[in-house]
Amino acid sequence: MLIVKKFGGSSVADKERIFNVANRCIEDYKKGNQVVVVLSAMGDTTDELIEKAQSINPNPPKREMDMLLACGEQTSVALMSMAMASLGVPSISLNAFQVAMHTTSKYSNAKFKRIDTDRICSELDLGKIVIVTGFQGINKFDDITTLGRGGSDTTAVALAAALGADACEIYTDVEGVYTADPRIVPNAKKMKEISYDEMLELASLGAKVLHNRSVEMAKKYGVTLVVRSSLTTAEGTIVKEVKGVESMLVSGVAVDKNTARIALIGVKNSPGIAFKVFDLLAKHNINVDVIIQSIGREDTKDISFTVDEAQAREAVQILKENKERLTIQKIMEEENVAKLSIVGAGMQTHAGVAAKMFEALFDVGVNIRMIATSEIRITVLINLDDVDRAMKAVHDKFIDD
């Protein structure tokens, strides 16, 4: 078997953990498997490198930022190969250049285009464990790029797809994907399996177990993922295509606290305004999520929507600059809000799921500010202070029923 094993930063945070990972990989290798290991930077290395950069230049050139951040992963793979050598097992570390993992040009948020597999395959054929840097690539200028925070998961999936691997295992410091954040909901359960679509919804909703694009890519290439802990031997959660009949009504509850609400008051009640507002935001790459438009009164209406907290200030600034043209009388921004979502493929075929969620919130006196739905998710915007209570209530209603 060819196995791709990815270990996150916490799994290689210190010497002891590096040897723990080395031994887990060697175990598979000794069983006769070919093993490709993808690593993240050790512990908080990436954050520390970002801080260092900021101390030199608060607005560093993006190219240089990627050049810097790529060092974190390079440290991990070299140390891992040294650890394996000291254990008497042949291995080799490779960075994005040496493998040749080609990406788009965009620094700090590049996407894979093509991965050459020759070098990895020939090293595997020589009987080595191959240890590859996660998170980085090279672009058409032969410059280093990075894939966005958490991008090592995507490296692992891309490699698994390119190599036609038999298994792709993502190791982290939790035992798998849970029905809710166990720190907030103590009776949250580990899922045995979850579909790509559900995982995508959960990933984008702030359940930070997997990088969003890694799930998209796994779905596209049919790579089955296993998410499990590097510190225990517990089984983990399988992410794969799950057929209709097997799907859960509600698989998980997720919270996104990094959200802000923007309200545009007294906008002219005529065609084309919503288009102009959201087109302007889209052109500035501002992601808008839940949207509500009030019923028009006389000749004006209100439009509210949510954006990522990190983009809220920029969004307000852009809207202010265009206030006249967009006929906005007043712009309001509020950050003390959070999105609470339930996700489940079974929703598609069941009525009354939304009502049940709203009932759970009513039972604990939580006010719903906005509502949005997709085929497999229902999201409500609530006050930040209500989040923990709301999450427990909704979780218990669906999952502990």
Distance from C-alpha of 28 to C-alpha of 96, rounded to nearest angstrom: 24
Does 150 interact with Mg ion (rule: CB under 5 A)? yes
Residues whose CB falls within 8 Å of the CB of residue 15, separated by 6 or more in sequence, listed in order? none
Does 149 interact with ligand ASP (rule: CB under 6 A)? yes
User: Which one of Mg ion, ligand ASP, none interacts with residue 62, CB within 5 to 8 A by kind?
Assistant: none
Quick one: 112 or 135, whose CB is closer to ligand ASP?
135
Contact stretch for ligand ASP (CB under 6 A) within 147-155, 225-233, 242-250, 377-385: 147-155
On whether the CB atoms of residues 306 and 261 are closer than 8 A, the answer is yes
User: Which one of ligand ASP, Mg ion, none interacts with residue 72, CB within 5 to 8 A by kind?
Assistant: ligand ASP
Quick one: 40 or 212, whose CB is closer to ligand ASP?
40
The correct pick among 21, 96, 101, 150 for binding ligand ASP (CB under 6 A) is: 150
- Residue 114 CB, nearest approach to ligand ASP (Å): 20
Does 236 interact with ligand ASP (rule: CB under 6 A)? no
Residue-by-residue DSSP string for 279-315: HHHHHTTPPEEEEEEPPPBTTEEEEEEEEEHHHHHHH
* β-strands 167-172, 225-229 pairing: parallel
The tokens of 325 are what? 């043209």
Instruction: Encode 267-289: b = buried (16+ Cβ within 10 Å), e = exposed.
Output: bebeeebbeebeebbeeeebebb
Count CA within 13 A, CB hemisphere, residue 398: 34
Write the CA distances from 262 to 37, 62, 254, 301, 368, integer angstroms. 44, 29, 22, 14, 16
Contact stretch for ligand ASP (CB under 6 A) within 39-47, 181-189, 213-221, 273-281: 39-47
The tokens of 47 are what? 């954050």
Within residues 3-22, the interface with ligand ASP by CB under 6 A covers 8-9
- Residue 381 CB, nearest approach to ligand ASP (Å): 28
Distance from C-alpha of 172 to C-alpha of 203, rounded to nearest angstrom: 15
Residue-by-residue DSSP string for 262-277: EEEEEEE-STTHHHHH
Does 72 interact with Mg ion (rule: CB under 5 A)? no
Contact stretch for Mg ion (CB under 5 A) within 148-156, 271-279, 336-344, 352-360: 148-156
Indicate the burial class of 176 (C-beta count within 10 angstroms; 0-12, 13-18, 19 or more).
buried
Does 135 interact with ligand ASP (rule: CB under 6 A)? yes
Q: Which of 198, 251, 250 is nearest to 356 (CA)?
A: 250
Binding mask 54-83 for ligand ASP (x = CB under 6 A): ------------------x-----------
The correct pick among 10, 74, 93, 152 for binding ligand ASP (CB under 6 A) is: 152
- Residue 256 CB, nearest approach to Mg ion (Å): 17
Quick one: 43 or 150, whose CB is closer to Mg ion?
150
Does 46 interact with ligand ASP (rule: CB under 6 A)? yes
Quick one: 104 or 269, whose CB is closer to ligand ASP?
104
Instruction: Give the footprint of ligand ASP on this chain (CB under 6 A).
Output: 8-9, 40-41, 46, 72, 134-135, 149-152
